[in-house]
């Protein structure tokens, strides 16, 4: 794989074995290596094949049972050895070895040749060391963990962000959940390691040229996990350590129709019928927000949805699944608010009333102060699921849910004022979207359902094990935004979330009658057809003010004029032809933890150029996708990785790998290339 030059022991920084006179003490305990010194304890232990977990705490032994992403029963580790000398301890777990000095500084190397993967770095030769604990009260600290920086290193992952950068090196990223900004604190390095910051604390990561620093604003201990190996192997180990995604149901691999919003049962059914009348493939249609009586009632408003049972019978006949929007917030007008407040099912606050956002509701002229249920509380999860089960699943057979605003969307977002069942807001705040998905996964499984899909606006490490699909949030509707989604999707894939999509066409606006926007829609739709999930959504012009009566402009494939509609229909049929391949790749995500949307270097790690390609990707192992990302383009330039031969899926022309080619890309064509003679039904 691509390996920039790395310093050997003794190069660039003092060898850990040559540190100052012994300060700490080493011991082996239950197969782990522990170091203690200056009231700090560091525990280094095997955590799956070729992987090591490090925990560090000031003021006592490391704590068990704190919220995190790692599953409790990792795969057995192989080739584990612990060695203790006078000035150094050493733990080897297969391909990775950790050395810890007498001063408590850790260095990770490849076991086979001893080359450095990653080393903790002191902030100063005197004080502090690589870890800094600044008290915030009651046993919590502002925590800093420092690592060395390396020339030429590239870093990928960290969830989903809208800055448009694929390589995260040189960025500072807040570790906090926001609409369209999703924190998943895992990084894959071009040096051959993947590291998980195993903490849901609010904080940041600084990926500077002079060092890397992970920061938790207030938490009780440092916790991180690291594995060595090529990117694909690291993805396998990371997904095993945090939990693999279920198998995607067959219906979910098809086309999802959505808009903001279908206001009534009749509106939604009219769209479903029209898709079938036109002979267009459709797998799902979405019933969006404000379909409820009150926010937090979690049930249909009979004034707008008078007969859900009949609606479901007709949709079943049409072969269309209904996906229903379920928000985690509860209006004071809801029938559930008083009981949930009395039982402590809401997120608590330290200094203010138990209300977290202002939001419109039915039967009131202005916004009301709503509260969010505490998804980290098992009893609260059970209660919310009981309402969803009783009002959607059992009476109507609704089995798919859209979990919107699950960051959660608090206003203002002062995490330090929040008190969760799992801990203080600063320590556990990023955990919420994963636990919200868990509500539905565990509830569905308890109800005997084996297929679970939820569509989520946010996620955290391990969300995938609860059947969570992520979408890229409420984004813009231009070519610049479309381009940013490629990097966002690739970094999401490397963060362990294989089920991902965007609002095709973007969310905020877009005039279906505007020729310029129609071009954006066509190019975005092509990208959407070759995304892990394919879902058309958006708040099209003309819009309306936020409220229970709102809807947007039309957003069906026939809404964009005859020329665009013909192209969109072409890609609907392409997606349908590719469904067997999509499900095959989804099987690899379920069984091996490999993403569906893959950066080129995941399959071709030896090709150095592949590490810098941020405008194309592999859809599974065999199909290279190069979306057209600028207005007016009729041809497009694509890099084809070395190590394979490539065939233009539209023309049949063959190309060698390691080359850059320019191909025709008229409005109705997205450049696609097949790897090494793969046969996929791209052309009709």
Q: Give the span between the Cα atoms of 514 and 552, in whole angstroms.
A: 15
Q: Is 474 a catalytic residue?
A: yes
CA atoms within 13 A on the CB side of 32: 18
- Contacting residues for 64 by C-beta, under 8 A, at least 6 apart: none
Residue at token pair 């990792």: 74
Give yes or no for a contact between 499 and 466, defined as CB atoms under 8 angstroms apart: no
Of 177, 197, 179, 178, the residue nearest 187 (C-alpha)? 197
**Residue 266: CB atoms within 10 Å:** 13
- Contacting residues for 500 by C-beta, under 8 A, at least 6 apart: 160, 469, 470, 471, 472, 489, 492, 493, 531, 532, 533, 596, 597
Q: Give the span between the Cα atoms of 48 and 239, in whole angstroms.
A: 11
Full 3-state SS string of 96-143: EEEEEECCCCEEEEECCCCCEEEEECCCCCCCCCCEEEEEEECCEEEE
* Six-digit token string for 521: 């829609």
Q: Which of 474, 514, 541, 668 is catalytic?
A: 474
Q: Is 350 helix (H, G, I), strand (E, B) or coil?
A: coil
Q: Is 230 helix (H, G, I), strand (E, B) or coil?
A: coil
Handedness of CA 650, 654, 657, 663 (dihedral sign): negative
Q: Which of 103, 217, 404, 409 is catalytic?
A: 404
Give yes or no for a contact between 238 and 494, defined as CB atoms under 8 angstroms apart: no
**Residue 371: CB atoms within 10 Å:** 26
Q: Is 556 a catalytic residue?
A: no
Q: Give the span between the Cα atoms of 409 and 415, in whole angstroms.
A: 11
Q: Give the span between the Cα atoms of 574 and 591, in whole angstroms.
A: 26
Q: Which of 34, 153, 407, 503 is catalytic?
A: 407
* Six-digit token string for 488: 């966002």
Q: Is 478 a catalytic residue?
A: no
What amino acid positions are annotated as catalytic residues?
Answer: 404, 407, 474
């Amino acid at each position: 794989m691509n390996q920039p030059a790395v310093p050997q022991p003794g190069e660039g920084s003092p060898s850990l074995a040559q540190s100052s006179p012994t300060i700490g003490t080493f011991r082996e305990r239950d197969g782990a290596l522990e170091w203690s010194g200056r009231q700090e304890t560091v525990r280094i232990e095997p955590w799956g094949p070729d992987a090591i977990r490090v925990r560090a705490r000031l003021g006592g032994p490391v704590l068990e049972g704190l919220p995190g992403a790692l599953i409790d029963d990792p795969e057995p580790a192989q080739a584990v050895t612990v060695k203790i000398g006078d000035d150094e301890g050493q733990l080897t777990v297969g391909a990775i070895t950790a050395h810890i000095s007498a001063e408590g500084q850790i260095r990770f190397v490849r076991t086979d040749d001893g080359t450095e993967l990653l080393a903790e770095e002191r902030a100063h030769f005197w004080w502090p060391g690589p870890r800094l604990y600044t008290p915030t009260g009651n046993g919590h600290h502002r925590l800093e963990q420092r690592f060395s920086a390396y020339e030429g290193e590239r870093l990928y992952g960290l969830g989903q962000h809208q800055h448009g950068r694929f390589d995260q090196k040189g960025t500072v990223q807040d570790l906090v959940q926001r609409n369209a900004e999703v924190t998943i604190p895992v990084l894959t390095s071009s040096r051959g390691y993947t590291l998980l910051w195993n903490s849901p604390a609010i904080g940041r990561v600084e990926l500077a040229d002079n060092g890397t620093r992970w920061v938790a604003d207030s938490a009780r201990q440092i916790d991180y996990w690291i594995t060595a190996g090529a990117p694909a192997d690291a993805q396998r180990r990371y997904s095993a350590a945090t939990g693999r995604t279920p198998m995607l149901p067959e219906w979910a691999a098809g086309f999802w129709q959505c808009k903001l919003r279908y206001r009534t049962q009749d509106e939604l059914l009219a769209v479903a019928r029209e898709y079938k009348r036109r002979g267009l493939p459709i797998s799902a249609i979405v019933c969006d927000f404000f379909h409820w009586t009150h926010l937090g009632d979690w049930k249909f408003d009979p004034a707008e949805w008078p007969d859900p049972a009949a609606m479901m019978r007709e949709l079943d006949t049409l072969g269309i699944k209904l996906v229903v929007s379920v928000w985690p917030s509860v209006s004071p007008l809801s029938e559930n608010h008083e009981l949930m407040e009395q039982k402590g099912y809401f997120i608590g606050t330290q200094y203010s009333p138990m209300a977290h956002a202002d939001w419109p509701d039915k039967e009131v002229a202005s916004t009301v102060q709503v509260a969010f249920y505490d998804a980290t509380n098992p009893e609260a999860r059970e209660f919310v699921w009981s309402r969803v089960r009783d009002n959607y699943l059992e009476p109507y057979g609704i089995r798919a849910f859209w979990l919107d605003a699950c960051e959660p969307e608090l206003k203002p977002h002062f995490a330090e004022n929040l008190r969760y069942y799992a801990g203080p807001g600063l320590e556990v705040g990023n955990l919420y979207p994963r636990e919200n998905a868990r509500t539905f996964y565990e509830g569905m499984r308890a109800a005997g359902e084996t297929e679970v899909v939820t569509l989520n606006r946010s996620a955290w490490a391990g969300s995938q094990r609860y059947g969570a699909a992520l979408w890229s949030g409420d984004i813009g509707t231009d070519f610049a935004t479309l381009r940013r989604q490629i990097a966002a999707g690739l970094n999401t894939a490397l963060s362990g979330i294989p089920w991902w999509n965007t609002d095709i066409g973007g969310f905020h606006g877009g005039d279906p009658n505007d020729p310029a926007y129609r071009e954006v829609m066509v190019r975005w739709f092509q990208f959407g057809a070759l995304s892990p999930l394919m879902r058309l959504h958006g708040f099209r012009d003309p819009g309306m003010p936020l409220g229970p009566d709102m809807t947007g402009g039309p957003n069906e494939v026939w809404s964009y004029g005859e020329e665009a509609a013909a192209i969109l229909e072409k890609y609907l049929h392409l997606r349908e032809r590719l469904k067997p391949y999509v499900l095959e790749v989804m099987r690899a995500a379920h069984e091996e933890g490999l993403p569906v949307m893959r950066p080129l270097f995941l399959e071709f790690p030896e090709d150095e150029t592949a590490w810098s390609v941020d405008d194309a990707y592999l859809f599974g192992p065999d199909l290279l996708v190069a979306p057209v990302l600028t207005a007016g383009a009729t041809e497009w330039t694509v890099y084809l990785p070395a190590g394979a031969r490539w065939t233009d899926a539209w023309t049949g022309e063959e190309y060698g790998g390691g080359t850059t080619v320019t191909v025709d890309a008229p409005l109705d064509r997205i450049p696609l290339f097949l790897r090494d003679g793969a046969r996929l039904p791209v052309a009709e």
